[in-house]
């Protein structure tokens, strides 16, 4: 219900609840924001699967980062 209201007002859920926007202001790539919004529509098990993939990708990147410097 709140998500629908936020969409109708074209504001983030953070902004609707607190008057501040936290997530979207920090994401610099508009395509990432668009994809996150699409993923938010998926059932929870698919969202969790994608979260696991993203966490693995970020951990691998952070692990390899010191070796590349």
Q: What is the pLDDT of residues 1-45, one digit of tens each?
A: 777 887 888 777 777 777 776 655 676 777 887 888 888 899 999
Q: Give me the pLDDT at residue 46, please.
A: 94
Q: How far apart are CA 26 and CA 15, in angstroms?
A: 14
Is this structure's pTM higher than 0.75?
no
């Amino acid at each position: 219900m709140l998500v629908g209201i936020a969409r109708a007002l074209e504001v983030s859920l953070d902004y609707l609840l607190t008057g501040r926007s936290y997530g979207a202001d920090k994401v610099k790539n508009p395509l990432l924001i668009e994809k996150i919004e699409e993923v938010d529509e998926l059932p929870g098990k698919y969202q969790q699967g994608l979260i696991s993939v993203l966490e693995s990708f970020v951990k691998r990147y952070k692990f390899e980062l010191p070796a590349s410097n």
